[in-house]
Chains A and B, each alone.
Chain A
Amino acid sequence: MIEVRGLSVRFPRAEGPVLRGVDLDVADGERVLLLGPSGSGKSTLLRVLAGIVPQTVDADVWGSVRVAGAPVVVDPARPGGTDPGQAPGVTDVPTLARRVATLTQNPADQLCLPTVRDEVAFALENRAVPAEQIGPRVHAALTSVGAGHLADRRTSELSGGEGQRVALAAALVADPEVLLLDEPTALLDPVGARDVADAVRSAGARTSVLIEHRLDELGELPARLVVLDAHGGVRADGATAVVVLDEARALAAEGVWLPLAAELRAAGVTSLDALAPDAGPGAPGAALPRTTAAPLLRAHGLGVRRGTRTVLDGVSLDVHAGRVTAVLGLNGSGKSTLLHALAGLLPGGPDAGTVTGARVGMVFQQPEHQLLTRTVRDEVAYGPRRARLPDVDGRVERALREHVLDGLADHDPFRLSGGQQRRLSLAAMAVCDHEVLVADEPTFGQDRRTTRATARALTALAREGRGVVLVTHDLRLAGLVADDVLVLHAGRVLAHGPAEAVLADDDVLARAGLRLPPLLAAWRTTGLPLRPLLEALDARTAGSPAAQPERVA
């Protein structure tokens, strides 16, 4: 169904090729999981298979590619071939789209029309399907992904998980032979991610290629695994169950969250209990003792209403120096509103209660939205300059070093990779000298390496004596960085206490609709302290951070 021979791709102005001599054969109905470090060309390979590279996005392409019988890239060395990518006989993207469907990360990028019905019907209209058949097929496609009830909604009103299911229906409605999935659950909360993963699995026995880095919570994986190396070649190809264990160490270091068994293999142990020596008392991860000192920031009895809806109700939270508090809860539980209230960024202020204390800085979910200048150095210097802090240059240099941005000082922030932008946004906020920092899902959509770097940065801020509050859906991250956990449900505090105690409370988790990832579920049976255990696991699987060069996007 897919036949790739000697495929190499180089983007204009790039130093070297992003893919090098890739061979790949995928049989009819076969499902392939595609992994590789950031910059290894996974997404590029998918975009070549869809014809986007080089037809829409300019690139030099060598080799030959056939998808569902259609020539997508024709080797100029073969008879009939001419310029790479420009060869006659190459199927154009819209025509290829009759057989190949694509689903990418962000529903906002894929939902282009005002209503769900228009959106799903679009692919059929473009194939000139008779109008009377379109209605029933739209209905069937929506139903198959569990989105039948969304048919009459407007696309702008959908949640992330709903939007992604509609986008999947829009991709499946024309019954493509090949399905290309580029991290379809990366930007979804755990509930949305599970719904979409289930919908993808039940999408029928189609040929599919899936890029995904959250293998720990994905459930059943595709049977075959192909791993690309940092240079854009194929490093491993075989049965997922075998390859994921063989490659465990490298994959973990490259930013993939592994299923529990593979994670343990990567750490060189057979069970979590074996990490007891690393994770004993006095391990480096031990939190600061809870102080009796007055809090840096005190929120008391916060209440926020939006129209008739109560978003927050009687929420109190003290932020102490040197401590990290994680705020957990489902979408709509009021987490982000609480952060905005703490940071004094709530339009009009809270309807009830008070926030008193220190100055608060805030890190936002999408780093792009925080960028305000044309170079990385100016970006970091922005806050200190506005505040007329002394020694701006020194501060900036230190921040660049601490956040591993040294070589990028003169780069355009908008051209950095997602992970680099995340580190930049953290650095730009950290230099502002706020006593308290709040972060809204700072690891959303990031791979494990960036997540780990973010965790380190937040911990370091607490170590400096600042107070940190973060909102996250990632319970593993909460276990790794948080001293305290506050669980919100429908705007009220369901639980607030030491991280370990709250994450071990089945009743609270069930009422909040939170589900422990397999690793944390396994931790519960060990009796080991959580944070040192996670740190030991990360330390053993991380590899050295310096040895992980990152490509500028």
Chain B
Amino acid sequence: MSGVGFGRPLAHDSVLHRRNPTVKLAVLLVVSTVLLAVVDPWTPLALWVLALVAVARAGRIPWRLLLRAQLLFGPFAVSILAVNCVTRDGPVVGALGPFEVTGPGLAIGLSLMLRTLLVGTLSVAFVLTTDGARLMTSLHQHVRLGARPTYAVLAGYRMLEQLPERWTTIRLAQAAREPARARRQGSAPAWLRAARTGRGLPDDAARQDDAAPREWRARRGGGTRLPVSPRALARAAFTLLVVTLRQGERMAVAMETRGLGAGPRTVHAPVTLDRRDAAFAAVTVGVCVAVIVAAARLGVLASWGSTFG
């Protein structure tokens, strides 16, 4: 997703962008929780289609991006379907290789698969329309998340932003100490060995004779060869951990010396929470309930161990 920074929303404005982050998060949690009770495929299918259209419109999220997000959750969703198809008891409706597929297994599997795609779509929409820092400010403001945890998360976010660059530097420093790939055994040429063993500088005549260096000269195409053994990666990861922890300590001190934790505080740019957020929550949850009611009326709604309608 080029152009989208970590923890930063898509650059445009939209109805979803303008909604209160805490309300969006709450709606996402409510819808996900309600759907835990639904096991028929039709209800989540209807909600998934509605959700795709809704977030594409209200969040102005490009369809291509939404499709890529589906692919992100796709493999997990399909694996849930497969496992349920072949592990649940009931009348056999087909075969998947050596396994028998049961009717209830297929229905529950499809339901869970679609639920995964639905929750995935809503989560992606939340992330793509919500600024991480505004979310923390909103949680601090509206659900009384303490100042220390709030700013610890924000400082952690700053460190995460710097992590990729730091990792690259550490890995390059590591690569610089790897032996060249096609290096001849026996290492340094005579003139360099002479210099190293204390016999002083080679005289000019010796260095004029450039044969030795040319001998072990290899073309350097330029591509980076990073050591990829688990050991090498573990070493680099440890270095990254130590350096980052140290920085975390220093940032904690910096925030304290600027008065974090001195008592009551204000927020300079409060996140708004108004009627439009209430309307958003009502509409979203309302649509969800309406779909479930409609499913029940049509006799397709199913929950664990029972069917309605």
Chain A residues at the B interface, C-beta cutoff of 8 Å: 50, 52, 56-57, 93-95, 97-98, 100-102, 104, 106, 108-115, 117-118, 121-131, 134-135, 138, 155-156, 170-171, 174, 288-289, 291-294, 296, 321-322, 340-341, 343-350, 354-362, 364, 366, 368-373, 382-383, 386-390, 414, 428-429, 432-433, 435, 463-466
CA distance A121 to B219 in the complex (A): 54
Given A127-B259, A131-B270, decide whether A109 and B214 contact each other with a Cβ distance below 8 A. Answer: no
In the assembled complex, how far is the CB of residue A131 from the closest CB belonging to chain B, in whole angstroms?
A: 5
A293 touches B207 (CB 8 A): yes
A356-B217, A414-B242 known; A293 vs B257 contact (CB < 8 Å): no
In the complex, chain B residues whose CB is within 8 Å of the CB of A114: 7, 132-133, 154, 157-158, 161
* Residues of the A chain whose Cβ atoms lie less than 8 Å from the Cβ of B169: 364, 366, 369
Select the stretch in B18-26, B84-92, B118-126, B170-178 that faces chain A. Answer: B170-178
Q: Which residues of A contact B174 (CB under 8 A)?
A: 372
Q: A155-B158, A428-B177 are in contact. Are A349 and B269 (CB under 8 A)?
A: no
B contact residues around A108 at 8 Å (CB): 162, 247
Interface residue B166 (Cβ < 8 Å from any Cβ of A): yes
Q: B208 at interface (Cβ–Cβ under 8 A)?
A: yes
Q: Is B12 an interface residue (CB 8 A)?
A: no
Inter-subunit contact B173/A370 (CB<8 Å): yes
Asked if B176 contacts A125 (CB within 8 A), the reply is no
Asked whether B280 is an interface residue with its Cβ less than 8 Å from the other chain, the reply is no
Bound Cα distance A50, B250 (Å): 14
Contact B267 A125 (CB under 8 A): yes
Residue of B with least CB distance to A173: B258
Chain A hits for B56, CB < 8 A = none
Residue among B183, B196, B207, B270 having the largest count of chain A Cβ atoms under 10 Å: B207
Q: Which residues of B contact A (CB under 8 A)?
A: 7, 132-133, 147, 151, 154-155, 157-158, 161-162, 166, 169-170, 172-180, 183, 185, 187-188, 191-192, 195-196, 201-202, 204, 207-208, 210, 213-214, 216-224, 235-236, 239, 242-243, 247, 250-270
CB–CB B173/A128 < 8 A: no
- Give the chain A neighbours of B263 by CB distance below 8 A: 94-95, 128
Query: Given the interface contacts A112-B158, A369-B166, does A358 sit within 8 Å of B217 by beta carbon?
Result: yes
Given the known A-B contacts A129-B266, A463-B201, A464-B192, are A93 and B254 also in contact in the complex, defined by CB atoms under 8 Å? no
Contact assessment for B258 and A126 in the assembled complex, using a CB-CB cutoff below 8 Å: yes
Residues B262 and A95 in contact, CB atoms below 8 Å apart:
yes
Known contacts A356-B217, A435-B213; A465 and B267 CB within 8 A of each other: no
Q: Which residues of chain B are within 8 angstroms of A121 by Cβ–Cβ distance?
A: 268-269
8 Å CB contact of A464 from B157, B196, B219, B242: B196
With both chains docked as a complex, state the minimum distance between the C-beta of A189 and any C-beta of chain B, in angstroms: 18
Given A109-B251, A135-B268 in contact, is the A388-B179 Cβ separation under 8 Å?
yes
Q: 30 A-B Cβ contacts within 8 A?
A: A95-B262, A97-B256, A100-B257, A101-B257, A104-B254, A109-B251, A110-B251, A113-B158, A121-B268, A122-B255, A123-B258, A125-B265, A125-B267, A126-B258, A126-B261, A127-B259, A135-B268, A293-B210, A294-B214, A348-B223, A357-B217, A359-B183, A359-B216, A360-B176, A362-B176, A369-B243, A387-B183, A387-B187, A390-B187, A428-B177
CB-based nearest B residue for A174: B259
> Smallest Cβ distance from B272 to chain A, in angstroms?
13
Asked if A344 contacts B224 (CB within 8 A), the reply is: yes
A345 touches which of B7, B172, B192 (Cβ 8 Å): B172
Contact A389-B269, Cβ < 8 Å, known A321-B207, A347-B224:
no
B211 CB → nearest A CB, Å: 10
Considering the chains assembled together, what is the distance between the CA atoms of A113 and B132 in angstroms? 11
Shortest CB-to-CB span from A87 to chain B, Å, is: 19
Q: Which of B7, B176, B257, B267 contacts A361 (CB 8 A)?
A: B176
What residues on A are CB-neighbors of B250 within 8 Å? Answer: 104, 106, 109-110
CB of A115 within 8 A of CB of B261, answer: no
Docked complex Cα distance between A56 and B252 (Å): 10
Name A465's contact: one of B187, B192, B255 (CB within 8 Å). Answer: B192
Q: Tell me the smallest distance from the CB of B151 to a CB of chain A, in Å.
A: 7
Q: In whole angstroms, how far apart are the Cα atoms of A136 and B103 in the complex?
A: 67
Alpha-carbon distance between A102 and B223 when the two chains are bound, in angstroms: 44
Q: Are A294 and B166 in contact (CB under 8 A)?
A: no
- B154 near A50 with CB under 8 A, answer no
- B262 close to A98 (CB less than 8 A): yes
Given known contacts A112-B151, A343-B176, A414-B242, A349 and B223 CB-to-CB distance under 8 angstroms: yes
Q: Which residues of B contact A345 (CB under 8 A)?
A: 172, 175-176, 224
Contacts of A349 in B (CB 8 A): 221-223
CB nearest neighbor in A for B155: A112
Taking CB atoms, residues of chain A closer than 8 Å to B270 are: 131
Contact A387 B179, beta carbon cutoff 8 Å: yes
Please give me the residue from chain A that is nearest to B132 by CB atom: A114
Contact A126 B254 (CB under 8 A): no
Can you name 15 extra interface pairs (CB under 8 A) apart from A57-B253, A123-B259? A52-B253, A106-B250, A110-B251, A111-B158, A112-B255, A125-B268, A156-B162, A174-B258, A349-B223, A356-B220, A357-B220, A358-B217, A360-B176, A364-B169, A465-B191
The reply to whether B243 and A94 form a contact with Cβ atoms under 8 Å apart is no
Q: Within the complex, what minimum Cβ distance (angstroms) separates A425 from chain B?
A: 8
For residue B240, which residue of chain A has the nearest CB?
A369
Q: In the complex, which residues of chain B have a beta carbon less than 8 angstroms from the beta carbon of A348? A: 222-224
Tell me the bound Cα distance from A127 to B260 in angstroms: 8
- Chain B residues near A110 (CB-CB < 8 A): 250-251, 254
> Taking A108-B162, A128-B263, A358-B213 as contacts, is the C-beta distance between A93 and B192 under 8 angstroms?
no
Min CB–CB distance B227 → chain A (angstroms) = 8
Q: Which of A98, A368, A390, A428 has the most chain B CB atoms closer than 10 A to its own CB?
A: A368
In the complex with contacts A104-B254, A364-B173, A126-B265 CB distance below 8 A: yes
CA distance A294 to B212 in the complex (A): 11
B144 to chain A, nearest CB (A): 16
Which A residues are in CB contact (< 8 Å) with B132? 114
The CA-CA distance from A465 to B180 in the complex, in Å, is 20
CB distance from B82 to the nearest CB of A (A): 39
Inter-chain CA distance A366–B246, complex, in Å, is: 14
Give B233 Cβ to nearest chain A Cβ, in Å.
Answer: 11
A contact residues around B247 at 8 Å (CB)? 108-109
3 nearest CB pairs, A to B: A349-B222, A126-B259, A387-B179
Residues of B within 8 A of A350 (CB): 222
Contact partner, A94, options B178, B180, B208, B260, Cβ 8 Å: B260
- CB pair A362–B173 under 8 Å, yes or no, is yes
For A367, give the chain B residue with the smallest CB separation: B173
How far, in Å, is B176 (CB) from chain A's closest CB? 4
Chain A residues closer than 8 Å to B170, beta-carbon distance: 369-370
| Interface contact A115-B257, CB-CB below 8 Å | no
> Contacts of A387 on B, CB cut-off 8 Å?
179, 183, 187
* Nearest residue, chain A, Cβ from B261: A94
B220 and A355 contact, CB distance less than 8 A? yes
Residues of chain B within 8 A (CB-CB) of A170 are 258
What is the distance, in angstroms, from A72's C-beta to the closest C-beta of chain B?
13
B213 touches A128 (CB 8 A): no
Within 8 Å CB of B251, what residues of A?
A: 109-110, 112
B154 touches A346 (CB 8 A): no
* Docked pose: A134 CA to B266 CA in angstroms: 9
B204: chain A residues within 8 A (beta carbon): 289, 291, 293
Distance in angstroms from B185 CB to nearest chain A CB is 8
- B131: nearest chain-A partner, CB-CB: A114
How far, in whole Å, are A134 and B267 apart by their CA atoms in the complex? 9
Residue of A94, A114, A115 with highest tally of chain B CB at under 10 A: A114
Question: When the two chains form their complex, are residues B176 and A97 in contact, meaning their CB atoms are under 8 A apart?
Answer: no
Tell me which of B187, B220, B261 contacts A433 (CB under 8 A). Answer: B187
Cβ distance B90 to chain A, nearest Cβ, rounded Å: 52
Bound CA span A388–B269, Å: 60
A464–B262 alpha-carbon span in the complex (Å): 59
